[in-house]
Amino acid sequence: MALAKDLIQVGVADQAATRLGYQYGTLTSAGTTSADAAACSATATLVEVTGAASSGIKLSSAAEVGMDFVYANTSANAILIYPPTGGQINGDTATTGTVPLAARGTTRCIRTGVNTWAAICGAAG
């Protein structure tokens, strides 16, 4: 899929482009719990993540239902992905249930409902 900025450059309306294309971002993981994990943006949908072992990132509660996010870990450390407060990923424990973001791996997260997310975890590349 193209980046939204590239779609705009070829004439796709900006509102359509931001829904069809990825918005690039970077994030450094932090903390060791849901409470102190690094907060993910609700608009950056293709995110390069780095960070220390056992640290984490927390999905945005402001993301729209149906939004698709790809997190690519470019570090040599496994990182945890937490749901927003009160949310669940793949039916795991609310708020504290995690999915892995493998070292040099990717995880795709899709907001499927008000408090629910689906995650597809990829192996290290």
**What are the structural domain ranges in the chain?**
25-121
* Higher-confidence position of 51 and 21: 51
DSSP string across 66-105: T-EEEEEE-SSS-EEEEPPTT-EETT--TTT--EEE-TT-
Q: What is the mean pLDDT of residues 72-90?
A: 96
Q: CATH topology for 25-121?
A: Jelly Rolls (2.60.120)
Q: What is the mean pLDDT of residues 101-116?
A: 95
Structure tokens at 51: 């960070």
| pLDDT above 60: residue 125 | no
